[in-house]
Amino acid sequence: MPTKVFKTNPLEIPLSIMQEKFCVGVVIEEKSQYQAYVDAGYKTEGLRRHQVDKRVYDLVRKPNIQRRMNELFEEKRKRNLENAMWTREMAIESNKYLYRIGKAEIDQAVNSYNREIEELENAIMTKVKNNTFTRAEDVSEIAIMKEKIEKLERSRKIAMTPSAAMRGAIDSLNRMHGYDKASLDLAVTNIAFTSDLKPDTPPGVTVVTSGSSGEGGSSNGS
């Protein structure tokens, strides 16, 4: 009775140390197949270049080599994807930080103007309640205070305009969420696509919530 011969699956043949080095050299280190072959320690001394190329070609055609290279390619793809996601998250956080810094600067300036305006308005109301505004000096003083209030209101309006860094951060967040600045009308307002920005939306900035479009799907957060 003939003896049964069990053939080993070529895909399951374990790689030698040099074969593993060759695969890593080609896929991970991105070397040429020839250079990876030489660096892996294969004998090339006394051989012509075309002879070495033939051996490299034969090596690459081995099923277990192809399997291992495919595994390494998949590992590399996943790692690159993870790195890309990490980079994206870092970019989002950096832009959010710039946004918050800009928002804090706006709040600080606006609050300062508001306090000055409130003090002047209270002073005017005091004179009005005391019926002293009929005196010429009081009338003149009230006029001066009203002029100061108008100037402060103009300065406050300028302070409420987002800085270049803040606008850049908002624009970057738009693009990372699929909103192309060129397709949006930014002549009137800046668009910020993220629900995280909505509670702290500065004046003049419109928040586009998830699932809405750039037209008619926004709500003004000012």
3-class SS of residue 208: strand
C-beta contacts of 26-31 below 8 A and 24+ residues apart: 26/69, 27/69, 27/72, 27/73, 27/76, 28/72, 28/76
The pTM of this model reads 0.42
Whole-number Å distance between alpha carbons of 123 and 117: 10
**Angle, helices 63-129/164-176, rounded to nearest 10 degrees:** 140
pLDDT at position 8 is 61
pLDDT digits (tens, 9 = 90+) for 66-109: 999 999 999 998 888 877 776 777 777 878 888 888 888 888 88
169 near 96, Cβ under 8 Å?
Answer: yes
Residues of the chain with pLDDT under 70: 1-8, 10-11, 86, 131-136, 177-222
| DSSP H stretches of helix in 28-135 | 33-39, 49-60, 63-129
**Strand pairing report for 205-208 and 218-220:** antiparallel
Q: What is the pLDDT of residue 204?
A: 44
DSSP-derived secondary structure letter, 3: P
